[in-house]
Structure 1
Amino acid sequence: MSWNVRIGINPISWSNDDLPSLGGETPLETALSEGAEIGYEGFELGNKFPKEPQALADKLAEFKVACVSGWYSGMLAEGGLDDEIERCHAHMAKLQHNGCKVVVYGEVAGSIQGQIDTPLAKRPKFTTDAQWQTYAKKLDAFGEHLLARYGIRLAYHHHMGAWVESPEDVDRLMAETSSNVGLLFDTGHTWFGGTQGGHSVDVVAQLRKHVRRVVHVHCKDVRPQVIQTARNDNWSFLRSVLNGAFTVPGDGAVDFRGVLTELHQAGYEGWLVVEAEQDPAVAPPYQYAKLGHDTLRALVNELGAR
């Protein structure tokens, strides 16, 4: 009996949206052709993909890959619900047209994730119960709207440099919201977000706490020594990326067997997306994308055979 999950990839392995100088010269078609050749079933979107819904569908069909999802830059931490509902329409309609079931919600209001010279210690934080509750209420309502209007689940991406970064932040967000707010569980950001004072978080145990809320998964591996140095020296998120904090599954310290076992036992059905911000000049995209795919495929086949 096979396990009903699909393996996709984010084009960030070939070209980086936050740091366009990384792989900026690489055509979209290179990523699509190489990803399809490796065996990936779908791609998350990046800034080189067509913006018009049918043009996007046509481009993906050319390479016989699906549209997995796409990052949405949310502003609910500082903005209003009505403005967000209006602002999101073009993006959500594009995802809906291309058969997506989830949207990657990344909170960018006040975030420092794209600022290469701003250390992670300066990230924004909710400091009162009222702030958490106000934010959660807007997220819940937004998630309800997306599901009713577009048939798309909100997959909240906890992210370095943003309001929800640490495992404790994720715990609080999940406690304050309903199932209208799904969790995008990112293995790399979980490890990085939990690395403080010489200690790292147990990624599998953190997943276990919230696995029933997980609607999307980003599979990043980590280089713990780089992350520890980033914490000790108070690097920015992008400086951490440039120095190799992240890599693909099979090339770092994350227990992906444990992660996938938890997802399998919980009945997760959806996408497993390889997303590893690296400098393509240092980490050849095809080689690393293949390692990530083959690592996940072997584990999925093994678990599905049980």
Structure 2
Amino acid sequence: MTWNVRIGINPLSWMNDDLPSLGGNTLLETALSEGREIGYEGFELGNKFPKDGPGLKAKLDEFNLACVSGWYSGFLATGTVADEIERCQAHMRKLQYNGARVVVYGECADTIQGQIDTPVSRRPRFASEALWQAYAERLNAFGEHLLTTYGIKLAYHHHMGAYVESPADVDKLMELTDPGKVFLLFDTGHAYFGGAADPVALLKKHVKRVVHVHCKDVRAPVIARARNDGWSFLNGVLNGTFTVPGDGALDYEAVLATLKEAGYEGWLVVEAEQDPAVAPSYDYAKKGYDTLRGIVDRLSQVA
């Protein structure tokens, strides 16, 4: 029985938005042509993609690629729903024009994920239950707006250095938000780095809310050093905390089996921040694709 998932990739394997020096001279066309040659069906967006809907579609069409989704920097932890609704218009219209069904919502209020000299342990936290509840209510309102206005689901990205990082944070977010308005982007690498010794256990708790998946693997010894030595998120990236599926410590057979059993039918997106000078883009993108493709094909043969 064929499992109806698609395998995409984020351009981080070739170029990095947070650390522009990594792959900064790599052309977008290089990433798109190599990704298509490897077998990927679509790309998530990065800062080198066209900013308008028709321009983006034309560029992706050149390489017979789909628009998987795109990161959206939200500020609902401290801002208002009205401001977010106004700010998001161009991005959501671009995604809508290109047929994307989800948006990657990254909470960027007070985040330290882009501060190379700030230890990840200094991330922001909600100081009270009331602040958590108010945040959830704003997310519910914004998620409802995205669904009704653009037909796009808010896929919340738990992320190192931000308000929602640990398994307990993910549990809290899912408890307080409306399951019909706020959905979950499950990121295997951030789950592990955030404290989930077994990301599959966390996934199983919330798999019915998952509408998007970022597939990154982890180098467990490097993450242990990052925690013990107080590295920033970006220093962790530079030192190799993350890699592609099949090159690290995570059990992707179990991850994908959990998704299939739950009826997940979205994108599986290889997204592994690395220095392409150390981890050559094509080779690692191919390893990630081959790993996921092999598992998906095996699972498709299981009734």
Q: Quickly name the TM-score band, shorter chain normalised.
A: over 0.9
Q: Is 1:201 aligned to 2:197, yes or no? A: yes
Superposed CA deviations along residues 184-221 of structure 1, whole A, max 9, x for unmatched, are 00000000000xxxxx5211111000000000000000
**Residue ranges of structure 1 left out of the alignment (5+ in a row):** 195-199
Match of 1:158 in 2: 158
Q: Give the match for residue 242 of structure 1.
A: 238
Deviation at 1:258, TM superposition (A): 0.3
Specify the alignment match of 1:283 in structure 2.
279
Deviations 1:154-197 (A, max 9, x none): 00000000000001100000000012110000000000000xxx
Q: Deviations over 1:47-78 (max 9, x none)?
A: 00000110100000000000000000000001
Secondary structure of residue in 2 paired with 1:59: helix
Identity of aligned residues (%): 71
What does residue 178 of structure 1 align with?
178
C-alpha distance in structure 1 between counterparts of 2:158 and 2:91, whole Å:
20
| 2:226 is the counterpart of 1:230 | yes
What is the root-mean-square deviation of aligned Cα atoms in Å? 0.5
Structure 2 distance, partners of 1:18, 1:204, is 28
SS for the counterpart of 1:251 is: coil
1:293 counterpart letter in structure 2? Y
Give the Å deviation of 1:46.
Answer: 0.2
Shift of 1:9: 0.1
**Structure 1 CA distance, aligned partners of 2:247 and 2:168?**
27
TM-fit CA distance, 1:121: 1.3
Aligned to 1:197: none
Q: Structure 1: which amino acid aligns with 2:222?
A: V
List runs of 5+ in structure 2 lacking aligned partners. Answer: none
Alpha-carbon distance in 2 for matches of 1:203, 1:33 = 32
Among candidates 291, 296, 301, match of residue 295 of structure 1: 291
Give the match for residue 100 of structure 2: 100
User: What secondary structure, in the 3-state scheme, does the structure 2 residue paired with 1:278 have?
Assistant: coil
2:250 alignment partner in structure 1:
254
CA distance in 2, matches of 1:79, 1:203: 31
Find the aligned partners of 1:8 and 1:191 in 2 and give their Cα distance.
21
Question: What is the SS of the residue equivalent to 1:273?
Answer: strand
- Give per-residue Cα distances to partners, 1:283-304, cap 9 Å, x unaligned: 0000000000000000000111
Is 1:263 the counterpart of 2:256 in the alignment?
no
Distance 1:102 1:121 in 2: 30
**Counterpart in the other structure of 1:73:** 73
Q: Which amino acid aligns with 2:193?
A: F
C-alpha distance in 1, partners of 2:262/2:61? Answer: 32
Does 2:4 align with 1:8?
Answer: no
SS in structure 1 of the partner of residue 33 of structure 2: helix
- Using the size of structure 2 for normalisation, the TM-score is 0.99
Q: Distance in 2 between matches of 1:106 and 1:82?
A: 18
Q: What amino acid is the match of 2:163?
A: W
Question: What is the deviation of 1:127?
Answer: 2.0
Which residue identity is paired with 1:14? W
Q: What is the identity, as a one-letter code, of the residue corresponding to 1:182? A: F
1:188 is matched with 189
C-alpha distance in structure 2 between counterparts of 1:73 and 1:241, whole Å: 20
TM-score (normalizing by structure 1): 0.98
Greater mean alpha carbon deviation, residues 236-245 or residues 121-130: 121-130
